[in-house]
Amino acid sequence: MALLEVSGLDVHYGAIHALRGVSISVEKGQIVCLVGSNGAGKSTTLRALSGLVKPTRGTIVFDGQSLVGLKPHQVVRRGIAHAPEGRGIFPNLSVRDNLELGAYVRSDKAGIAADLERQLERFPILKERATQMAGTLSGGEQQMLAVARALMARPRLLLLDEPSLGLAPQIVQSIFRIIQEINGEGVTILLVEQNAHMALSIAQHGYVLESGEIKMSDAAKTLAASDEVRKAYLGIGE
């Protein structure tokens, strides 16, 4: 059985039917990406997984246990960390405080200190700015902080929402390299991206979401090569 098994998920925002029967499966150790245009329901899917929005129908099973009805902090306790859309850092808290908040559900002080050190090694720029207010960081640095902070929870599954949004190509490259590195350390990743090209290039499996419905599901390589995806999401036409 897959690590994460989502099936028939429906989400409504008032009268808006944001997700229609979304089914996703994420195998342990994989990078799975969810691509699609703005407003397709990518972020909503992640928000439903994290307990920020309540699905009206469907099941979410993580490691054999249902997540439906859990509050966000309970989902984190189960081993899922979510680096949200727009990064969601705390601007008036220091970089270090932000990172320590990521470890809120843990109580192993030595382990937390060691992980903090590891993340600061991985992102030297954060080490340099550890005592600075997080709001003074640049966009790319804030994204790195968001990823590092999510890792502080020692998640088994990491949900990443648009990590490339608004960043210069070079920084996007390094973020994606880091995502692969994290995956190599054994963290399963569900990646939501508008940048389908980049996302499909590092994922093993991909889903294409359109108007709240899964339109395609295939190996990432196959999707990247398909005419439909190339035209609609990769900007490569005839």
- Which residues form the interface with another protein (CB under 8 A)? 50-52, 71-73, 76-77, 81-82, 84, 88, 90-93, 97, 100-102, 104-105, 133, 135-139, 149, 153
Nearer to another protein, 107 or 237 (CB): 107
* Number of Cα atoms under 13 Å in the Cβ half of residue 65: 9
Least separation in angstroms between residue 225's CB and another protein is 35
Nearer to another protein, 100 or 213 (CB): 100
Given a contact cutoff of 8 angstroms between Cβ atoms, the answer to whether 35 and 216 are in contact is no
Nearer to another protein, 94 or 204 (CB): 94
Give the residue from 164, 187, 204 showing the smallest Cα distance to 118: 187
Nearer to another protein, 82 or 205 (CB): 82
Least separation in angstroms between residue 45's CB and another protein is 15
Least separation in angstroms between residue 200's CB and another protein is 26
Radius of gyration of the chain (CA): 17
Give the residue from 216, 156, 158 showing the smallest Cα distance to 191: 158
Q: How far is CA 150 from the centre of its chain?
A: 9
Nearer to another protein, 36 or 79 (CB): 79
Least separation in angstroms between residue 91's CB and another protein is 5
Beta sheet of 213-219, edge-to-edge order: 80-83, 157-161, 188-193, 31-35, 205-210, 213-219
Least separation in angstroms between residue 34's CB and another protein is 18
